[in-house]
Amino acid sequence: MENIKTLQNQKYIKSLVVIILGTALLTVSAKFKIPFYPVPMTMQTFMVLFFGVAFGYKIGLSIVGLYLVEGIIGLPVFSNSPERGVGITYFTGPTMGYLLGFLFAVFLAGYLDLKKNIFMIFFKLILSVSTIYILGLIWLGVLIGWDKPIFQLGAIPFLPAEFLKILILTLLTKKIIKLRSFI
């Protein structure tokens, strides 16, 4: 019985370490900008999907949830913070829908069966990342008005980079899933 408790405690500690390291990696992925056309690319959406694929939806949601809480309480974890503000002020700005979409994307990437063929993996990852853009565009429309070209402003510039990130993740998914055995 004591061995079972020890194993459970070790599992909780491993999970906690992965969650804390995950939020740090998500922060770095938000800050690091890669030159890309038409706009610089961050690796946030890649990391969000990666966490779902690698660790499943529970750990993935924990990573993204803690990351959002860190940003809301004022830690400069989000892209363009502290330059454009921190805390709840930044969170409720134009990117709030996208940030909330991270929760849905990591859940889907971690919940959907990604052990099928490469085309199904690609489709499921596209579905997962789409939730980020759907919620982001809805919030952007509410915030700046539906009379503005919402899709052209909030999606089109980012789609080439998203396609590349999804393609890379699709090719790596079967190897990444093996990380789940770590926890």
| pLDDT tens for each residue of 56-82 | 999 999 999 999 999 999 999 998 888
- C-alpha closest to that of 64 among 89, 29, 115: 29
What residues does each domain of the chain span?
Answer: 2-182
Class for domain 2-182, per CATH? mainly alpha
- C-alpha closest to that of 95 among 78, 70, 75, 83: 78
Compare 146 and 36 and report the one with higher pLDDT.
Answer: 146
Task: Name the burial class of residue 91, with classes exposed (0-12), middle (13-18) and buried (19+) by CB atoms within 10 angstroms of its CB.
Answer: buried
Task: Name the burial class of residue 5, with classes exposed (0-12), middle (13-18) and buried (19+) by CB atoms within 10 angstroms of its CB.
Answer: exposed
| Amino acid code (one letter) for 40 | P
Q: State the pLDDT at residue 54.
A: 92
Q: State the pLDDT at residue 183.
A: 66
Average pLDDT over residues 85-100: 93
**Residue keyed to tokens 């980079």:** 161
Retrieve residue 157's tokens.
Answer: 């510039």
